[in-house]
Structure 1
Amino acid sequence: MTQLRSVVRGIGSALPARVVTNEELAKTVDTSDEWITQRTGIRQRYIADKTETTSSLALAAARKALADAGMDASEIDLIIVGTSTPDNTFPSSATQVQDGLGIRHGAAFDLQAVCSGFVFALATADKFLTSGSHKRALVIGAEVFSRILNWEDRTTCVLFGDGAGALVLEAQEQDGAVTDRGILTTHLRSDGRHREKLYVDGGPGSTGTVGHLRMEGKEVFRHAVGMITDVIEDAYAATGMTSDDLDWFVPHQANKRIIDASAQKLGIAPEKVVLTVDRHGNTSAASIPLALAVAYEDGRIKGGDVVLLEAMGGGFTWGSALLRW
């Protein structure tokens, strides 16, 4: 029996112009390259200037993804932007991308699940496409986390960066087997009891201010590996696959130690893990599509490859997506 699958048609990414190294940060914050690298694996990050916003980065990534797909913007009927740092409280950054692309039809909206935002957006788009209600989607992760950091807090400001990545998905009839191209399964989780471990201390409905990011790093690390493996094991159970079947593991790029521990626990070989945290830092919802773009552009990810995505973010939220490129 045939089945509609959400197939990747194109990918693109965008980064701010300014690179900030650990050495540069150490000039203004009580930290060092050695301290940051040993604890996180981060060596640099990209920081947006006043002219670069979530929607401008998302739009640039979307245009590259459409070019890679060989597709005109008019063929898109759904845009979902995963972000926790929209340009405005409203309208959504997705509608600004829609306008920038000259699209006057379909739906466009933002989705907020912090660092899990791209996986949540991907799963949501997959439901639209496989239901038959929409045909082609732009799924974007875009952030300017530098806007919500306390640049005097060395425990958090060194971790994050800005950027955007985008995928073009198209609903295509497949055989209904795990050998199909496209998204094979997605699994999402949330648990609001953990708010105090990772949150922003402001918002339009509470303080009327943007606020700053607050994090209990040790607590986040303690929960991360277990939560990540939970949704990955669900993906394996749903498809009958194992870590041996993977070609690539593309995790949320938050901390190299978390990534290494998760891969080891799941039995994923180190050479299958895509790592970009060293060059991008933690770009929240943008981190997975940015990492995917790097591995695609350098020739690692190819058609037919089995790719596993996972992320965990504030809330807590966490999720996985298993797809065949």
Structure 2
Amino acid sequence: MRWDEIYVESAAAEFGESQTGEEAVTEGLLPVEEWEKSRQRSVSVSTTRAAPELAVAAGRTALARSGRDPRDVGLLIHADCWYQGLEFWNTAAYLQDRILGHDDCVSYELRQMSNGGMSALENAAARLAAIPSTKAALVTTGDRFASPAFPRWSTDRGLAFGDAGTAVVLSRTPGPLRLIATAAYSQPMLEGLHRGDEPFLASGSESGVLDLVARKKGFMRGYSSEEVTTRNEEGMMSAVRSCLAEAGSDIQEMAVVIVPFFGARLSQFQCLGPLGIKPEVTLQEFGLTVGHLGAGDQAAGVAKLLEDDTLKSGDRVLLVGVGAGFSWTCAVLERS
């Protein structure tokens, strides 16, 4: 989809405290060889704030940076991957109340795993384009991968999970980044990679410690690694190619490419290699200090770009979202 006059006005990210990879190895949270492969220097760990509280903090900061009156925001979409602090409640309504404090807003939670923030951005752009009375939209993400249920350093291989809330304000008013194009693609045959051969349970209270490595092993008993790798790569590249075609751009023209904050080795295998790009054009070094932020990697990356203010007018940025399921959503932004 090619977009006209949709802008990112501001972005923000809220982090916890830093836990280093060396500390994780010393505490027995992961084997030293896995740490050496990922080169994950540290991750963000929230010891006191739940995921929605991190999202509230990021949302308030992004709104303040935009200079917007909260009543301008007519849409709030919250994306997440993991536990939001309570069962059977409305996270998006909580955020609407705590960040905006008014009733004249559509708010909802979107669950598309690590692709959720990117999918929410595309959905927000669609509402802004279709309903002129929506002056601005707020997209938030929030996840806290707390132990013991979620062993952030070892539940999966090749990456470590970090806690953060993020927020992006979009509108039709010219801002620092213009949304040029988006595209999405899905490959539902791969959903079993995160389900494995585990049975469905009656309630979350029956769940034990999350082990994504075991789930993937269960799924792979019925598929070849070559087939899964091919489908994964083709899915991402389909979304990327469509997005770049809509934007009239080539990936080599991108000043920055923001891919998920995986560990260095996994990022090379799943993202950089297929895309044909070097780590230097990405925010890999930043990602290796905060960890994979669930649905928030791309928004946190945009916030960092705006804070660092290193983009020149006309520079383009490619955002690549990848989510379990599997789904991919990409976007091209241009510095105003």
Calculate the TM-score normalised by the size of structure 2.
Answer: 0.82
- 1:195 Cα deviation from its structure 2 partner: 2.3
- The aligned residue for residue 48 of structure 1 is 46
Whether the aligned pair in 2 keeps the contact of 1:274 and 1:295 (CA below 8 Å) is no
- 2:79 touches 2:141 (CA, 8 Å); kept in 1? yes
- Deviations along 1:82-112, one digit per CA (max 9) or x if unpaired, are 1122333443322111111212211111100
Q: Is the 8 A contact 1:6 1:170 kept in 2?
A: yes
Residue type matched to 1:313 in 2? G
Q: Kindly report which structure 2 residues correspond to 1:145-160, keeping only aligned pairs within 5 A, or say none.
A: 145-146=145-146, 149-151=149-151, 154-156=154-156, 159-160=160-161
Cα distance in 2, alignment partners of residues 71 and 152 from structure 1: 36
Return the match for 1:256 from 264, 288, 302: 264
Instruction: Pick one of 245, 250, 272 that aligns with 1:242.
Output: 250
Paired residue for 1:191?
187
Deviation at 1:201, TM superposition (A): 9.3
2-structure distance, mates of 1:243, 1:198: 30
Q: Secondary structure at the match of 1:182?
A: strand
On the 8 A contact 1:22/1:32 being kept in 2, the answer is no
- Whether contact under 8 Å (1:141, 1:287) holds in the other structure is no
Measure, in 2, the Cα distance between the counterparts of 1:27 and 1:201.
33
Q: Equivalences for 1:107-126 in 2 at 5 Å?
A: 107-126=106-125
> What's the secondary structure of 2:165's corresponding residue?
strand
Give distance in 2, aligned partners of 1:76 and 1:147.
35
In structure 1, the residue matched to 2:141 is 141
Distance 2:237 2:152 in 1: 34
Q: Distance in 1 between matches of 2:273 and 2:198?
A: 37
Aligned residues: 314
Specify which structure has the higher proportion of strand: 1
Structure 2 residue aligned with 1:268: 277
Residue in structure 2 matched with residue 322 of structure 1 by the alignment: 332
Contact 1:248 1:307 survives alignment (8 Å): yes
Cα distance in structure 1, aligned partners of 2:80 and 2:46: 15
**Deviation of residue 26 (structure 1)?**
1.9
Residues 1-325 of structure 1 aligned to structure 2 (within 5 Å): 4-16=4-16, 18-29=17-28, 31-33=30-32, 35-38=34-37, 40-49=38-47, 51-85=48-82, 86-101=84-99, 102-133=101-132, 134-146=134-146, 149-151=149-151, 154-156=154-156, 159-172=160-173, 182-199=178-195, 206-209=201-204, 211=207, 212-215=210-213, 216=216, 224-261=232-269, 262-275=271-284, 276-301=286-311, 304-325=314-335
Amino acid at match of 2:248: G
1:253-303: CA deviation from partner (whole Å, max 9, x where unpaired):
123234334334334354321222211111110111122222321223455
Q: TM-score, normalised by structure 1?
A: 0.85
Aligned mates of 2:55, 2:330 — CA distance in 1: 22
1:48-100 deviations in Å (ceiling 9; x for gaps): 22x31111100100111112112222221111111122333443322111111
C-alpha contact (below 8 Å) 2:181/2:247 kept by paired residues: yes
Cα RMSD (Å): 3.0
* Secondary structure, aligned partner of 1:88: coil
Relative distance call for 1:112 and 1:267 in structure 2 (3 A) is same
Opposite residue 6 of structure 1, the aligned amino acid is I
Percent of residue pairs identical: 23
Q: Confirm or deny: 8 A CA contact 2:80 2:113 kept in the other structure.
A: yes
Whole-Å Cα distance in 2 between the matches of residues 148 and 108 of structure 1? 31
CA distance in 2, matches of 1:265, 1:287: 19
Helix, strand or coil: the match of 2:204? coil
> Residue 197 of structure 1 aligns to a residue in which SS?
helix
C-alpha displacement of 1:30: 5.7
The whole-number CA distance in structure 2 between the counterparts of 1:201 and 1:149 is: 19
* Structure 1: stretches of 5+ with no match in the other structure: 175-179
